[in-house]
Each structure stands twice: as C-alpha cells, then as structure tokens.
Structure 1
Amino acid sequence: MRFAIKSVPEHQTWAEIRDVWIAADDIALFESAWNWDHFYPLTGDTNGPNLEGWTMLAALAQATRRIRVGCQVTGLIYRHPAVLANMAATLDVIAEGRLELGLGAGWNQQECDAYGIELPPLRERFDRFDEGVQVIIGLLTQETTTFTGRYYRLTDARCEPKPVQRPHPPVVIGGRGPNRTLRAVARWAQQWNAIMATPGEWLALKDILVERCREVGRDPAEITCSTNVFLRSEDELGRVAEQAAAFAEAGVDLLVVNLPIGAKPAILEPLAEALAPLA
C-alpha cells in the first residue's frame, strides 16, 4: 500500500498547511499531498475561512520539491474546462511534473447558490463532466483541439506550454457513482478515489469498476484505486493503522490520510511509523 496526506484548507492558516506539506516532503512514505476545491468550509462554522484550492496548490508546489500535489477533487462546475486545462498545464510546469489532476462533477449546492453558479441536475452535470474531461485531455495533449459537444465547443484551441508530464498529468476522478462516475474512470482516469465508510463498501464498487473497464476494453490494473481515512488526533494513530490494514486487504492501492484541522508537522513522523509496516 502507498500513502498520502490531505490538508483541508478550512479553519486554518496558509502557514499551518504550508509547514505540514514541507515536512511531508521530507518523509518518503508519503507520495502525494492533497487539498480540496471548495470555497466554504464543510465542517463547523460555514461562515469561517477557507483557502482557495488551486491558488494554494501552485504555492505549495513551489514550496516543495518531491511530493506530488493534487486537488481532491476539482469541481468542473466551477471553471470552464479550457480554463482549467491551462491552469493544470501551468501548475505542472511550476511543480516540475508533480501534478495529480483531480476532477469531479461537483455537488455543493450552498456554494453554487451563494455565487450564482448553476448546479445542473445530476444527469446534465455528468454529461457536462464527460465533455469537460475530453476537452481537458485534448488541450493537454494536442497542438490544437477542436471539440463540438452539447455544452462545450472549441475551435483550433491551444494550451501552451504543455504540462511536463506526458501525455498529461494523471487524471484522478473522484466519486462513488456506479454508473456515470465509474464509467468515466474506466475511460479516462489513471486513479479513482472514493471515500467509503467500510472496506466492504469500497470493494463492492471496485468490482463494478472492473466490470466498467471490461466494457471499454481497459485493463483495471492501469488504474490506481484509492480511498481516505480521517485522523482526528495523534491519539488515533492506532485506529488509523487498523483501518489502513483493512483497506489494504480489500485491495486499496493508495490510502489518503486526512489530517486534523490545524495539524502540526510533528504529527507526520508518528503517522509514518504507524503506517510503515503496510508500505
């Protein structure tokens, strides 16, 4: 099993998150670090502070040297996919080829209502998502991209410079939908992330993903399968290690540990020691 950390940018300062990521960069066990793409906190006081994910990610890429960086996951409802493709290419250049391109259909009604962003019905949202992923991959891989869809249209569109990683940064699709989400994973993703309550629930979806891959002629072994566990304090290291072992037995490739809000760098070494026997 491989390991990553996640710092949710709510109710904590830039300096707190930066210092944790810099410390994680020096611990070989952690291969990647993640934030999220929300504008309001999801826990506690929703009127509280929440740092913007992609701006923050670019700065964290500059502050680190080894660890891979990603947003888990970017809501495609918030940005035109051509704009996001240019953001991703630029960030991969800044990170010198360490970007993980997390993508999702989006879901947060509160944010959309507050900002006047349309949150389409579920079917349309996933239709837009499917088109958006194709637009992004086209722009990141082709000299020019022409795309005619129902929701997005590009004509000889360019995205320069291209990302460092070729053909493009790994696409990480997040979600648990057995039909639309897992079909999208099978078609385009290099990683699938689903935050599940139990290993059994995760494994049931993994079995569906294998079937979706069979339908499109994809080898499921090409897709890193990940999930998250939540560390609330250093007193819970034993519980997190037990959860990690159970998910490893279920076949999870990458475990992302959500760190406590306001976590200090000192929590990382004990966490790495607790997880190391599973690596």
Structure 2
Amino acid sequence: MRVGMQVGTITTPRHRLTGEALARVAEQAEQAGFSTLAMADHFSLRPESTPFIPREENAPVVTEFFEAWSTLAFLAARTSRIKLTTLVSGITMRYPAVLIKTADTLDALSNGRAYLSLGASPDFGLDEHQRMGLSLPPAGERVARLEEVLLMAMQMWSGQDAPFTGTYYHLSSTVGTPFFVQQPHPPILIAGHGNKMLRLMACYADVVSIGFGRDFDAMRERLTYLREQCEQLQRPYEAIQKTTFFTLPIVRDGRLDPVALDMIRELAEMGFDEIMIRQVSDEATFDLLASEFVPLINGVSVGGR
C-alpha cells in the first residue's frame, strides 16, 4: 500500500504561503517516501459554501487558493520521483482541451509523473463558478461532459488528424505530437461516487478516488458496483488502481493511533492501493509519519494484488 499527501494551498491574510515553504513540503514528502503529491483544484471559495473549510471568527469573505496546475509545475522542478496530481480538476473549471494540454506538458516536464485527474465538479462550487464567470451545468450534464472530455483526451493523445465533434465540445482537429512521457499516456484519475461516475471509471480510469476512508459499507458497495461494470466491459477490475482520502487522525498523543492503523489495513484488504492524507503542520508529527507510518503502510499488502 502507498501513502500520498494532499498539500494545502490555501492562503489567507494571516497565513501567506510562499514558494519556498511549498517546495520544502514537497521535498520532505518525497524524501519521506510519500507516493503522491495532490492538491485541491479551486480558485476561491466562501467558507459557508463548502464542507471542508472550517469557519473561523473574523475569517475573510473568501478563502483563496494557489492555482493548482501552475503550483504542480513549480513543485515538479523541486522534486524528482513523487507523482503529481490534482484531487481533482472539475471539467467546468477550464476549457478541456487546455486542461489536457496542461497535464500533457506537466508529464513531459516532470519526466513522467503527472496524472490527468478529473471530476464532474461538485455542487458546492456554484458560488465559485459564478464569481469566476464559469458555467456550472446540472449534475447529469456535467457527467456527460466529463465523458466527452475523456474521449477528447484519448483523441488528442493519439495525434489523429481529425475533428472532435461532441454534443458539448468541438475541436477542428486533434493533429499533433503529444509531449507525455508515460505510456500509453498519463494515467487518468477519476474521482466520484455515483453510479454514473463509477461506470465512467470502469470504462476510462487508470486510477479511481473513492470515499474519505470512512463508511466502509458504502465504499464496499461502490467497489462492488465498479467490479460489476468492469465485468460487463470485459476489463480487468485489478487493472484499476484505487485510492481514498483518509481524513481521520492518524497520530494521537504523539503516537500512531492503532484504531486508524486497523482501518487502513482494512482498506488495503478491500483493495485500496493508496491512501491520501492531509499535510501536517508540526514537525514532530511529520517526523513520526516519515519514520514510522509511511514505512509501515508501504509494507501492507493490498487485497487482490
């Protein structure tokens, strides 16, 4: 099993991020053996509109984020092994052909360490979209658009000299030579949980992000449905890597929490190849994760592997 880290890129008047601080986090994560650096792909969010930003007294009206893909490119230059991804990029946030080209470029410049990480954009992003001048169609349409984006990526990566004509997106031609290093292309990471999303995962994903490391019954149901969809497509279920964002505390009172460790082992038995944890702020906790937690989890076998 592997351990990835989501790097915080929130910046506030009281907490101004610097490039050197971010680079130091990335370098330490790579040295500690973390598998992946991931970051949320948002521009700015109102705390009251989102489930994951704590509401603080006298907090700013909006919470600002560093732009994710340019931050990943910056961190690619300061690292050499760790994988780089958003978790994940909503397909309504950028014009899809530009997003595909961005991931292609990052894979080339990082020597094969980028994911094309996509989702159908969360409902809580309506305010963000409106303030950025972006359209947020209904959920069903967003899923349909996501499938078109995946088909667009495949055609752009093929270098085929042909137009791309979908219901929502149109390109006059996809001729050209992609830059990517990984073969047959940068891994496609899709995050989501509904049945429509799981069907897309079975068809297109190399990696799936499911759940938040809790409500195991629901996660098992989603994995079962994903397996059934793979069987219908005659695609090996084991070909898809599984990751989940583990949000529960891992360290308590200066020690690894045995309850959290048991839960992570259970996730491995379920077939999860990777857990993603949040960046920690204090050095003592990070040192404990680096010296004990990451080596321990790296030694955990994954069910079905």
SS at match of 2:44: coil
Please say if residues 3 and 297 of structure 2, whose CA atoms lie closer than 8 Å, have aligned partners that are also in contact: no
**Which amino acid in 1 is paired with 2:10?**
E
Please say if residues 203 and 250 of structure 1, whose CA atoms lie closer than 8 Å, have aligned partners that are also in contact: yes
Give aligned pairs, total. 275
Question: Separation in 2 of the partners of 1:269 and 1:198?
Answer: 29
Please say if residues 192 and 226 of structure 1, whose CA atoms lie closer than 8 Å, have aligned partners that are also in contact: yes
For residue 220 of structure 2, the aligned residue among 203, 206, 212 is 203
- Higher relative contact order (CA closer than 8 Å, sequence separation 6+): 1
Question: Separation in 2 of the partners of 1:35 and 1:278?
Answer: 21
Please say if residues 249 and 260 of structure 2, whose CA atoms lie closer than 8 Å, have aligned partners that are also in contact: no
SS at match of 2:232: helix
Match of residue 251 from structure 1 = 271
Q: Bigger shift: 154-163 or 52-61?
A: 154-163
Match of residue 232 from structure 2 = 215
Question: Separation in 1 of the partners of 2:22 and 2:193?
Answer: 28
SS at match of 2:211: coil
CA apart distance, 1:249? 2.8
**Which amino acid in 2 is paired with 1:5?**
M
Please say if residues 85 and 136 of structure 1, whose CA atoms lie closer than 8 Å, have aligned partners that are also in contact: yes
Bigger Rg over Cα: 2
Question: Separation in 2 of the partners of 1:181 and 1:56?
Answer: 27
Q: Bigger shift: 232-241 or 188-197?
A: 232-241
Question: 1:1-279 to 2 correspondence within 5 Å?
Answer: 1-11=1-11, 13-14=17-18, 15-28=20-33, 30-41=34-45, 42=50, 43-44=53-54, 45=59, 47-107=62-122, 108-178=125-195, 180-196=196-212, 197-230=214-247, 234-235=251-252, 237-238=256-257, 240-260=260-280, 263-264=281-282, 267-272=285-290, 273-279=292-298
RMSD of aligned alpha carbons: 2.1
Q: Bigger shift: 72-81 or 136-145?
A: 136-145
Question: Separation in 2 of the partners of 1:249 and 1:146?
Answer: 45
TM-score, scaled to structure 2:
0.83
Distance 1:20 1:122, change over 3 A: same
Question: Separation in 1 of the partners of 2:23 and 2:247?
Answer: 19
Deviations 1:27-81 (A, max 9, x none): 23x1111111111245134523311111101101111111011111011101121
**Which amino acid in 1 is paired with 2:70?**
T
CA apart distance, 1:231? 5.8
**Which amino acid in 2 is paired with 1:278?**
I
**Which amino acid in 2 is paired with 1:87?**
T
**Which amino acid in 2 is paired with 1:63?**
R
Distance 1:49 1:266, change over 3 A: farther
Instruction: List runs of 5+ in structure 1 lacking aligned partners.
Output: none
**Which amino acid in 1 is paired with 2:26?**
W
Instruction: List runs of 5+ in structure 2 lacking aligned partners.
Output: 299-305
Question: Separation in 2 of the partners of 1:246 and 1:135?
Answer: 37
Please say if residues 244 and 275 of structure 1, whose CA atoms lie closer than 8 Å, have aligned partners that are also in contact: no
CA apart distance, 1:233? 8.1
